Structure 1
Amino acid sequence: MFLSLREKYSSQFDDKKTNKSQIWRKIWKEMEEAGYNLGDNGVERCRQKFANLQKQYLAHLNHMKKTGSEQREQPLYFDKMHNLLHMKDKINPQNLQESTGASTSGASRNNMLSLNASVTQEISESTGTAEAIRNRFRNTKNSVRPESSNAQLLDLCKRQFEEDKETKKRLIELLEEQNRQRGQMLEILSKLVGR
């Protein structure tokens, strides 16, 4: 009954100008009239109960979007919560941003929207079947991470290698020069001692 009342007032909850506590008060009164005893703080209990159900719903959706996640049983009232929330921006965002802060452009935004659409379709059609698991990966991107800096790291390593190579080459030249000078010194000293 609780979720049915929440669904009944969903248009008022969507209105940003409406005071939500008044709507929760209406729900509380209707539940009291139906015989549910929620106590003096029933308005807050109703609001908190819905917040907890929403948290479970979001956690399950996020789990379904992760690749390699094991199959998990749907939380209680998942289908009713999905009917209430599947078009909310919190669930199906209209404007996506990369972790670098730049807005996503057409192709990647479409990939994300199609991923959300495929998850929504899975839930409504055949949640839990092997086919649904295979389909959920169909429209995903390989990665949402920014381009890797491996090329920059490789260039840095190459430059460092070349610098080290030049340093070692110069060191070898100095050692050879030192050995040549030692040879000359020994030759001079042997001539002086030999006199």
Structure 2
Amino acid sequence: MSNNGESYLLSINYMGQDVQVMTEDFDTANLLLNDQHAAFEFLNRLDPDKYPIPGGSRDTQVPLFNFNVPQQDLGESRTSSVQNGKENVENEEIWCKKKPTEKDLMATELFLSLRDQYKDKFNDTKTTKTSIWKIIAKKLMEENYNLGKDPVEKCRQKWANLQKKYLEHMKHLKTTGVERIETPPFFDILHGILGSKDKTNPRMLIDSEDIISESTSEATEVPSMPKTALAEVQAKADNRQDKINEIKKRFSSTIVPKTATAKICQIIKEESEKARKQDKEQFKKLEEILVTQNDQRREFLDILKRIAPVEAPSKEPPRKKRRPNCEDSDSHSD
């Protein structure tokens, strides 16, 4: 329908990138918002080189988009709305509902096959995980799976959830023994990817009580867990037990010292007494040195007295010399 010169500015998600487009037709705007494939075709008509259609174009006799769309009557508009509604259901975002749909399960199976395909790159420390998730997200979108606004984060979060369920199930099997519990979906595929990782089977010494020993006869009762997986778990448990026994024999004669407060106090007291004795000895030596120096000074003074005896000063005051006066000089001249 015509909108009297009004225009609509839309944001189309193309391969994880928001593209701004404008149209003057309401029906075209509605179709672009509800049909992702139609939106891809619309962008492809604007710039075929920049916006190629993922998965190829649909077979249509009449082009989906014209910049001047003819008016439609009310009946055609309702029919188009119903068709758009069906396409919207088919193209709804996956992995959003609590109960997975058939399309969610199909997408998960394809997702895990791609994750298994690129597992060597995930194990490579030189390759960034984000770049690999981008490749997987692109392949899923090429199969017309809607991953929402952030496809890379969607894939990463989906893998984290699947991995968490797998690890919880494996932990339950190892701690409580194999019981009749519900096996998580896609367990066999996940076990093929994660079964050999340290996160599932950590390479560390554990107590022998934590190893599954008495549950081997009951392990075959679980139909969901493959026999090869049980044999692998049991073999690794036996290897860990052998390593534990070897280490116990190696350190069987080692005596671990016991520390006590009384022992520490005794050591501190002995060290303090030793330091006190050293200080006393040093003080005694210093005292002997001072006595020796005083004796040497006395001897030196005695020697000086013998060599140059000191005369006692006279008690009478010294007499003044008489100066000759003028009369004396005259008498002598006569």
**TM-score when normalising by structure 2:** 0.31
Counterpart amino acid of residue 8 in structure 1: Q
Q: State which of 106, 122, 138 in structure 2 corresponds to 1:13.
A: 122
Give the Cα–Cα distance (whole angstroms) in 2 for the partners of residues 25 and 86 of structure 1. 25
Label 1:59 to 1:24 Cα distance change in 2 as closer, same or farther (>3 A). Answer: same
Label 1:50 to 1:33 Cα distance change in 2 as closer, same or farther (>3 A). Answer: same
Q: Output one character per residue of 1:49-83: Cα deviation in whole Å (capped at 9) or x when no partner.
A: 00000000000000011236742110011111001
Counterpart amino acid of residue 198 in structure 2: D
Task: Please state if 1:31 is matched with 2:140.
Answer: yes
Label 1:127 to 1:18 Cα distance change in 2 as closer, same or farther (>3 A). Answer: closer
Counterpart amino acid of residue 76 in structure 1: P
What residue number does 1:67 align with?
176
Task: Please state if 1:92 is matched with 2:194.
Answer: no
Give the Cα–Cα distance (whole angstroms) in 2 for the partners of residues 41 and 19 of structure 1. 18
Q: Output one character per residue of 1:150-184: Cα deviation in whole Å (capped at 9) or x when no partner.
A: xxxxxxxxxxxxxxxxxxxxxxxxxxxxxxxxxxx
Label 1:126 to 1:92 Cα distance change in 2 as closer, same or farther (>3 A). Answer: closer
Structure 1 unaligned blocks of 5 or more: 99-103, 142-195
1:124 is displaced (CA, Å) by: 2.5
Task: Please state if 1:2 is matched with 2:115.
Answer: no
How many residues matched?
120
1:12 is displaced (CA, Å) by: 0.2
What residue number does 1:49 align with?
158
Q: Output one character per residue of 1:122-157: Cα deviation in whole Å (capped at 9) or x when no partner.
A: 7331889xxx9xx89x9698xxxxxxxxxxxxxxxx
1:6 is displaced (CA, Å) by: 0.4
1:97 is displaced (CA, Å) by: 4.2
Give the Cα–Cα distance (whole angstroms) in 2 for the partners of residues 18 and 126 of structure 1. 31
Higher RCO (CA 8 Å, separation ≥ 6 residues): 1
1:37 is displaced (CA, Å) by: 1.0
Which structure has greater strand proportion?
2
What residue number does 2:251 align with?
none
Give the Cα–Cα distance (whole angstroms) in 1 for the partners of residues 229 and 180 of structure 2. 10
Counterpart amino acid of residue 125 in structure 1: K
Equivalent residues in 2 for 1:1-195, closer than 5 Å: 1-67=110-176, 70-94=179-203, 96-97=204-205, 123-125=225-227
Q: Secondary structure at the match of 1:66?
A: helix
Q: Secondary structure at the match of 2:226?
A: helix
Give the Cα–Cα distance (whole angstroms) in 1 for the partners of residues 177 and 193 of structure 2. 28
Structure 2 unaligned blocks of 5 or more: 1-109, 242-334
Label 1:21 to 1:66 Cα distance change in 2 as closer, same or farther (>3 A). Answer: same
Q: Which runs of 4+ in 1 moved over 4 A?
A: 138-141
Counterpart amino acid of residue 227 in structure 2: E
Larger radius of gyration: 2
Give the Cα–Cα distance (whole angstroms) in 2 for the partners of residues 126 and 63 of structure 1. 18
Give the Cα–Cα distance (whole angstroms) in 1 for the partners of residues 115 and 193 of structure 2. 8
Label 1:40 to 1:68 Cα distance change in 2 as closer, same or farther (>3 A). Answer: closer
What residue number does 1:159 align with?
none
**TM-score when normalising by structure 1:** 0.52
1:35 is displaced (CA, Å) by: 1.0
Counterpart amino acid of residue 124 in structure 1: P
Label 1:9 to 1:68 Cα distance change in 2 as closer, same or farther (>3 A). Answer: closer
Percent identity of paired positions between Structure 1 and Structure 2: 44
